[in-house]
Structure 1
Amino acid sequence: MTRPLVLADAETARDVLTFSGRAAQAGADGVRIQASDGVLVLTSAALAPQSLFDQTPTILAMRIVRADPELSCDLVVDELTAGDVPAELLLPDTARAPAWAGVAPPRGGWQQVGVLPATIVADRAQWGISAVAHGSPDGAGEDAVRALRARIWGEADEDLQGLPRGVAFAAHAFGFLGSAGPAGQVIAAEQVRVTESGRWTRLAFSRGHVLSRGPAVRGLTAVRQTGPSAG
């Protein structure tokens, strides 16, 4: 094993393991671990395009925790496991290099552009989950399911201030929405700050951040005829 991750305490280590586990459940392609100056930033792609023509937006989930001030690293791993010491986690033998990890959000320049109730985010997440489930017939191929997910989660949602619906999926999948009732409704609601910097938009929950890159999918561009004009 490589050098272990040394966190601030056992509770923080459990927090990081929870984030890693949620990333795996969401089908994310690894977790990026960036540590310096006593701060550990965990990032994972809740959604990301898999090919050139894939319309899935790039939507990242982020959690920031305390770490050992001596720890310094920047790598992407498939998983993390508990170590022998409660405040330590073990890294796998090899790191990853997924495409989404090469697209980093800016560190500064964020300006607030709005506020979203967490209840609205939760509602749009549940709507999208239901739409994907009901839109995927038995026996549907992987490509068909991926295209459906790209359409549902990549579509601009006016209830989310025009952001792709996938930001709601990310908040749900990574547990940023707080306590929920039996029907999925948020009990402990919060007002979520929405900020922008360049092409990125960030939803700042008390439990983490969701970042979306670029505009949401708003439909295909109209096909134009080519060739010599008539007459």
Structure 2
Amino acid sequence: MTVTARLALTDTREAADLSAFLLRLLRFDKAAAVRLQAVGPAESGESESGESGSSESEHGGVLAVFGRLPLGTSGALAIRTARLEGLDASVDLTVSVGQLLDGVDAETGALALPAPVTGPSWAGLLPPRTGWRPVGTPPPAETGRELMAAVREFRERSEAVPPHHRTRAVLDALADEIWSRPVSALPELPLRAVHASYMIGFLAPGAPLTVHRAGGWLRLSSPTGSVVLRTAAAPGAGLGLSPLR
């Protein structure tokens, strides 16, 4: 693997969390790519709550990794951030998930960045850096129960389809029907965002959830990471980066 740069994460827990995130992406697509951005504290923009970057990143900067979850015919972007010990220059690359995973040293917290690859179309349009406004805070327990009920419904209805009719198109149509439904406690939030957050490992029992909107983008955040949906045409690119708390 050709290495283009090396980054130092703040501690080994950051490296372990990043590895887990990349492994989950590979379960969806063995040939998946991610877009990653590493910026210094002056460029980190707004935090996950929509506030300006916190002092936790002032000494080193932040790495953000963007991956797509292909759930149904519509996808969602999953975003995992990590704090950096230091950064000589900003980085913006699209790379292989497998090669990036190979570059994670969980014992030292070091990250070797592989050579860039030709990126998928989604990697060319990321959420805006600023302008996020709060939408609401869906209750975790109630939202989790609603999600699990929808998961059971999808499983039961897909298993009821005769095997010779159980094509990818049929299953995608069923997924789109279920995951496009609004969350009862916050109708502006589709179940697709909650499902994506669950599938990538961002939902934890009792962990707080927040929802923000910027233009045609909607973001569901937990303490572990964020899932972003493009709900309408939205100008601009580049997500403001911040450390996780």
For normalisation by structure 2, the TM-score amounts to: 0.70
Superposed CA RMSD = 2.6
Deviation at 1:35, TM superposition (A): 0.9
Deviation at 1:11, TM superposition (A): 2.2
- Structure 1 regions of 5+ residues with no counterpart? 179-185, 216-231
CA contact (8 A) 1:5 1:71 kept: no
Aligned length: 200
For normalisation by structure 1, the TM-score amounts to: 0.74
Structure 2 distance, partners of 1:155, 1:96, is 34
Q: How does 1:6-155 map to 2 (within 5 A)?
A: 6=7, 7-27=9-29, 29-37=32-40, 38-47=61-70, 54=73, 56=74, 58-67=75-84, 68-70=86-88, 72-76=90-94, 77-79=96-98, 80-81=101-102, 82-83=104-105, 86-136=108-158, 137=161, 138-139=163-164, 140-155=166-181
Percent identity over paired residues: 28
Pick the structure with greater CA Rg: 1
Q: 1:16 to 1:33 in 2, by over 3 A?
A: same
Q: Which SS does the other structure have where 1:24 is aligned? A: helix
Structure 1 distance, partners of 2:170, 2:154, is 11
Structure 2 distance, partners of 1:108, 1:48, is 27
The structure with more helix, counted as a fraction of residues: 2
- Structure 2 regions of 5+ residues with no counterpart? 41-60, 233-245
The structure with higher relative contact order (CA 8 Å, sep 6+) is 2
Deviation at 1:4, TM superposition (A): 4.8
